[in-house]
Amino acid sequence: MSSFTVTTTSSFPMISTLLKRLGAVFLGIGFALVLLEILARVFHLGSGGFWEPNSLYGWRNIPDATGWESCYGECAVYVTINSRGLRDREIPYEQSPGQTRILFLGDSLTAAMQVPLEETFVKVIETRLNTDAGSGRWEAINGAVNGFGTDNELLFFRLEASKYRPDVVILAMYPSNDVENNSRELELRYGGQEHKPYFVLNEANQLVLMNFPVEGTDSFSVRVGTFLKKHFQLPRFVAQVLSLRSDVPDWLKPLVSLLGGGRGGQADAGSNAQAERQGSICDEEYTPEIQQAWTLTKAILKQLRAEVEATGARFAVAVIPTSVQLLSSQMQPVTADGDWFCDRPHEELSSFLDQEGVPYLDLLRPFREHVLAGGAPLYYTRDFHMNSEGHRLAGELLYQFVMEKLAP
């Protein structure tokens, strides 16, 4: 009996020592994480992590999220997402009497987290309209979400944005990837998002919604990942790094799943460049996949227009070019995957919009004229998004467009 007692008593110091060592390890890990979080905030590390999976649209901005957006060292912008998931100030569904509302739909080129909110073209046009018409007469709402295709934008308008009862809806299209985003086959081929709703055309050429609602968007791991990205900068940096990896090791995949590293702020264009192209929207002869993607995109545009006009609002399109397109065709460099930053997508889209009688503003020509005349750069050098000057010019051009084509 005494022997048993001695053995048990002698084990207490061992257990105590083990617990102290474990405590020191966890304390060290905690200290390291706090230090890394501080460094991530001080140096504005992490970009594009302001999103969470969503069963209705595939993903959306995290309501009430805040943090720093960086673009490869070229910008550092403190971003605030409002309580309804818009990259905008707090905006009620109800419209003030005598007010005219413009709702913008788009992807990261319109969400524009790379510039302060008041410098985005959405707010530039709002300021210009109110300067001319009297303060508060016009309200411009930024309904854009990073990575959205026209299919996401149709669902977002149908299920959420229409609640704002806008008078005008302007769809900001980025042909560089929007057409591919709308095609399930091309979206997956070029590293896009698998967990999103998508449309197909049936034999009667009617849109059929698939993978809706998206499953698994409210799992425990999703909620944990969303919480971490909403409140901390370091997880957004980790998510960005993971999203830029072309081959994620198996041991990292649980972390990718937790933080959602497959859809980040650079997903709009960056993912498309990671795969070898098998046909392009600039080819003289479209491959069947590209032709089908265009057919689907046009059908989605028709449906979006119909649903917008059914609410009593006017529908229009703004077409945003890439930075490479701002050079003339004779000056464009040939890229490794072919010179696909061409004018053809704009010509295809313009022809369709003319045929349908949809008012539109193509920014390609005025942007190109600005650059060739020696104007200030409109895009960041390493980041494909517009800088403040690009948004200023886009806002001024959109202001003129609204006054001429859409003002009541």
CA distance 1 to 298: 86
Q: What is the pLDDT of residues 64-114, one digit of tens each?
A: 999 888 887 899 899 999 999 999 999 999 999 999 999 999 999 999 999
- Predicted TM-score (pTM) of the model is 0.83
Rg over CA atoms, the chain: 24
Say yes or no: 293 and 144 in one domain.
yes
Q: What pLDDT, on a 0 to 100 scale, did the predictor assign at position 354?
A: 98
Say yes or no: 140 and 189 in one domain.
yes
Q: What pLDDT, on a 0 to 100 scale, did the predictor assign at position 266?
A: 39
Q: In terms of residue numbers, what domain contains 321?
A: 51-406
Say yes or no: 96 and 213 in one domain.
yes
Instruction: Label residues 186-215 b or e (16+ Cβ within 10 Å = b).
Output: bbebbbbbebbbbbeeeeeeebeeeeeebe
The pLDDT confidence band at residue 301, using thresholds 50, 70 and 90, is: very high
Instruction: Say how many domains are in the chain.
Output: 2
CATH code of residue 270? 3.40.50.1110
Q: What pLDDT, on a 0 to 100 scale, did the predictor assign at position 272?
A: 41
CA distance 300 to 331: 34
- Reduced to 3 states (helix: H, G, I; strand: E, B; else coil), residue 150 is helix
Say yes or no: 182 and 101 in one domain.
yes
| 232 against 179, higher pLDDT | 179
Q: What pLDDT, on a 0 to 100 scale, did the predictor assign at position 63?
A: 95
Say yes or no: 38 and 128 in one domain.
no
User: Residue 37's CB: how many other CB atoms inside 10 A?
Assistant: 17
Question: Mean pLDDT over all residues of the chain?
Answer: 84
Say yes or no: 230 and 359 in one domain.
yes
Say yes or no: 281 and 376 in one domain.
yes
Tokens of 142: 């930024």
**Pick from 85, 86, 47: nearest CA to 67:** 47
Q: What percent of the chain has pLDDT over 90?
A: 56
Say yes or no: 65 and 33 in one domain.
no
Ranges 130-134, 242-246, 300-304, most confident: 300-304
Say yes or no: 235 and 371 in one domain.
yes
User: Residue 6's CB: how many other CB atoms inside 10 A?
Assistant: 10
Q: What is the pLDDT of residues 345-389, one digit of tens each?
A: 999 999 999 999 999 999 999 999 999 899 999 999 988 899 999
Report whether pLDDT(229) > 80.
Answer: no
Say yes or no: 113 and 199 in one domain.
yes
pLDDT, mean of residues 135-157: 94
Q: What pLDDT, on a 0 to 100 scale, did the predictor assign at position 341?
A: 65
Q: What pLDDT, on a 0 to 100 scale, did the predictor assign at position 25?
A: 81
Is the distance from CB of 61 to CB of 152 less than 8 angstroms?
no
Say yes or no: 32 and 156 in one domain.
no
Torsion sign across C-alpha atoms 188, 181, 120, 51: negative
Say yes or no: 19 and 110 in one domain.
no
Ranges 34-43, 172-181, 276-285, most confident: 172-181
